Amino acid sequence: MHNKLVNIDYIVFIIYFFIVAGYGYWIYQRKKKKTMDTHDFFLAEGSLTWWAIGASLIASNISAEQFIGMSGNGFFVGIAVAAYEWIAALALIIVAVWFMPVYLKNKIFTMPQFLKTRYNETVSLIMTVFWLFLYVFVNITAIMYLGALAINNLVGGGPDMLHLIMVVLAVFAIFITLGGMKVIGYTDVIQVLVLIIGGLATTYIALTMVSEKFGLGKDAIAGFHQLLKDAPDHFHMILSKPDANTPQNDVNKYLILPGIAMYFAGQWIVNLNYWGCNQYITQRALGANLQTARTGILFAALLKLMMPVIVMLPGIAAYVLYKNGSLHTEMATGGKFNPDNAYSSVLGFLPNGLKGLSVAALTAAIVASLAGKANSISTIFTLDIYKKYIKKEATENQMVWVGRATILAAMFFSIAFTWNDLLGISKEGGFTFIQKYTGFISPGIFAMFILGMFWKRTTGVAAIAGLITGFVMAVIFNNYAPQWFGHETFMYTAFINDKGVYEIPFLIAMGWSFFFTVLVMVVLSMFGPKINPKAFALDKTMFKLSPSTILLIVIILLVLMGLYLKFW
């Protein structure tokens, strides 16, 4: 195994770069207007096709934290981590059927606009500032750092190379983003194609390595069956609840993925909040008509079903190879293998040329996510801060240029804060870093959106109280509940983690935080009018589905059912 790239790898990578850049420039020039307006720049003037929307959703979602973090969880826990991807497919169905009609009928272009329209200016402003800080100082910085670190490990570079990679990633993302959402959406089609081809190639090589290790020849199918045989504990979707005799390693797994309980708690909140209440994601579909948006979102759900094969299966393969002495000790720290190195360790075995393609796939995922988040930052700042509070009479052209300047500023700050890892991302891990700072607020945000959409009595006061309650409850359940209320209650069971501290599984804590948030919002709203004047008008025709939409939903559900029956 070696991580150095050779000339053919660089050639493959450079070809990929020029194809994406050239295609993006062609898309930009094809329908270029003398003056680009905000609807063109931020929402692609409704010109994204269903396949461009679906591909862009996946390209924006899959990034370094999935390739590195989820592969690492595959190494440590196994297929149970696929719940994040497969439940996402169900969440996308819910978003397509019920969320998108509400957004599109009410001409919602940004998430702060939703909160202002449904609640009031105060709720909108609070969340606008929060989302801007979250996207700039948590999401982009973590993706930038984790992505640069992963690529640097693959090319065998040092600290100076790490900084160069950060700059290259930022420049690449800026080049795509300055062309607006149309360029992002259509270049994401290529990004996803490269991501899937490179990811599948990595998985294939990983499985053939396993088959060769056990004397089965170069047979990927045989390698997969060997994984099932050699690591059966890694192929269960539902983890058993620990008891007094459970090894600490298995307790740690359960704390990450708490068995069947997580499906009644935070797993839904994580996915529905991410896919349905997130500017970075919903923006792809907000410029389209309802049928196109629905088809694109369901296409993304189909692609989501296959993502564990690309980002999780190589981690399980790395586990079996390491367990049987086939991964070199340079991937271990202190004699113990770091799961976050699982994906890199597999890539190290790829043949010349193919390694360049896999680096291109990883780069595609990182750049697409950076571009998508930068565009969302630009959209929120321009439409919800600049236009409202700084220059209300701003022209369309001025807002587009402010949007572009915001993109440059966001990338500058992301490089500045990741250059010497000022936020300490390396200490917590990129995936954990993102989850830590978004998870505390997710219950409150999701409660505001779900009640705001579908319960006409919800008030603005209840929304603010819900946001505060969700945060406070998350802090209590994650940090204080075991010592305040005991280790075993009717609501939860706390387990001793590897630091010797009692901890409630994060997804269970999130579920109870959401429950109490909704409770507070419902009680406060009962003191208001039976129908809030700002409630959305809903009718049955909004949620009527076409035969093609129903067919797509049935296919997704059947595939998902088969996967869970196979790996329960």
Cβ-based neighbour number of residue 70 at 10 Å? 25
**Is residue 114 within 8 Å of 128, Cβ to Cβ?**
no
Q: Is residue 259 part of a domain?
A: no
CA distances from 364 to 146, 351, 412 (A): 14, 20, 20
Contact partners, residue 199, CB within 8 Å, separation at least 6: 67, 309, 310, 311, 358, 361
Q: Is residue 564 part of a domain?
A: no
Long-range contacts of the stretch 218-223 (C-beta < 8 A, 24+): 223/317
Task: Write phi, then psi, for 337 (nearest 5 degrees).
Answer: -70, 130
Query: Got the DSSP string for 150-168?
Result: HHHHHHT--HHHHHHHHHH
Please report the pLDDT score of residue 332 as a whole number: 47
Number of domains in the chain: 1
Q: Quick one: angle between helices 141-155 and 354-381, nearest 10?
A: 170
Tokens representing 262 are 């997580």
Please state, in angstroms and rounded to a whole number, the distance separating the CA atoms of residues 206 and 210. 6
Q: Is residue 549 part of a domain?
A: no
Please report the pLDDT score of residue 93 as a whole number: 95
Contact partners, residue 341, CB within 8 Å, separation at least 6: 72, 153, 331, 332
**CA angle, residues 514, 519, 523, in degrees to nearest 5:** 150
**CA angle, residues 429, 433, 439, in degrees to nearest 5:** 140
Please report the pLDDT score of residue 553 as a whole number: 95
Q: Is residue 287 part of a domain?
A: yes
Please state, in angstroms and rounded to a whole number, the distance separating the CA atoms of residues 434 and 427. 13
Please state, in angstroms and rounded to a whole number, the distance separating the CA atoms of residues 169 and 411. 10
Task: Read off the amino acid at residue 68.
Answer: I
Q: Is residue 328 part of a domain?
A: yes
- Please give the chain's pLDDT, 568 residues, in tens: 455 677 887 888 788 778 777 777 776 676 555 445 555 555 545 557 888 888 878 877 777 667 777 788 888 888 888 888 899 999 999 999 999 999 988 888 878 888 889 998 888 888 888 888 888 887 788 788 877 877 777 776 666 788 888 888 888 888 777 666 566 666 667 777 777 887 888 888 889 988 988 888 888 899 899 998 888 888 888 888 888 888 888 888 888 888 888 888 888 898 898 898 887 777 777 777 889 999 999 999 999 998 888 888 888 988 888 888 777 544 444 456 777 777 777 877 777 777 777 777 777 778 777 887 888 888 888 888 888 888 888 787 788 888 888 888 888 888 888 777 776 666 555 556 666 667 778 888 999 999 999 999 999 999 999 989 998 999 999 889 999 998 889 899 899 887 888 889 888 999 999 999 999 999 999 998 998 988 888 888 888 999 999 999 999 999 999 999 988 8
Q: Is residue 488 part of a domain?
A: no
SS3 of 167-208: HHHHHHHHHHHCCCHHHHHHHHHHHHHHHHHHHHHHHHHHHH
Tokens representing 240 are 């058993």
CATH number at residue 97: 1.20.1730.10
Q: Is residue 491 part of a domain?
A: no
Domain span at 129:
7-228+274-426
pTM (2 d.p.)? 0.83
Q: Is residue 534 part of a domain?
A: no
How is residue 350 annotated by DSSP? S
Contact partners, residue 471, CB within 8 Å, separation at least 6: 440, 441, 444
Please state, in angstroms and rounded to a whole number, the distance separating the CA atoms of residues 78 and 246. 17
Strand partners, 336: 333
**Is residue 495 within 8 Å of 242, Cβ to Cβ?**
yes
